[in-house]
Amino acid sequence: MPASPVLVKTVPEEIGVFDSIIDPTLGPASDTERGPTALADRPESLAGLRLGLLANTKRNAEQFLREVGELLAEQHGVKAVLATKKMDITDTAPRQILDDLRAGCDVVVVGVGDCGSCSASAVADGIILEQSGIPAVVVCTDAFTASADAMAGLRGAPGYRYLTVAHPMANLTPDGVREKAAAAIPGIVGLLTQRASLVSS
């Protein structure tokens, strides 16, 4: 059985080291310079909502999110799934993909952050969607929380919560991917609904 996923709170103190590495065009980031990021309001449940899945090109990312989508439909009543994929793991999703998700989805699952740069960009995608009023949950493996935390700070959301699953994702068999997706469902549902606080206090 895979290790149980855990909800992670980002650590603002870890941000500064990664600023120039992840996005040097932003310059030094602080809460006062960028201002806090407004996160989307949460629904009470997922029943009847349109689900978006934003995958990257890391091995097993699409398969993991596909399993998540099927489980959320079966167990929590999402009524439609829009699956999309970005081809650059180091950058945020292209504008057209983000526009499609905004127009066609009520909630989005983003993943999988299974390296330093793709974890950072996955968190950035999640925060961009949140700023658009779309609740999003980002899934990263637990080896790359420092990069994910750093990007949250750069995007004005220190303390942004995302879901971690055990590293690695890439070497899993189809059955292993399915098991990991099933174990992640409670955390995903919690972060997409009002059952969880999205930012550390």
Domains of the chain: 6-29+43-192 (3.40.50.10350)
Residues 6+ apart with CB under 8 A from 60: 112, 169, 170, 172, 177
Report yes or no: 4 and 184 within 8 Å, Cβ to Cβ: no
Work out the average pLDDT over 62-69.
97
Cα–Cα–Cα angle for 52, 78, 9, rounded to 5 degrees: 60
Residue 37's pLDDT is 65
Tell me the C-alpha distance between 15 and 151, whole Å: 7
Q: 92-109 pLDDT, tens per residue?
A: 999 999 999 999 999 999
Check pLDDT > 80 for residue 195: no
Check pLDDT > 50 for residue 188: yes
Residue 199's pLDDT is 53
Tell me the residue type at 199. Answer: V
Residue 139's pLDDT is 97
Q: 128-137 pLDDT, tens per residue?
A: 999 999 999 9
Split at pLDDT 50, 70, 90, the class of 194 is confident
Residue 198's pLDDT is 53
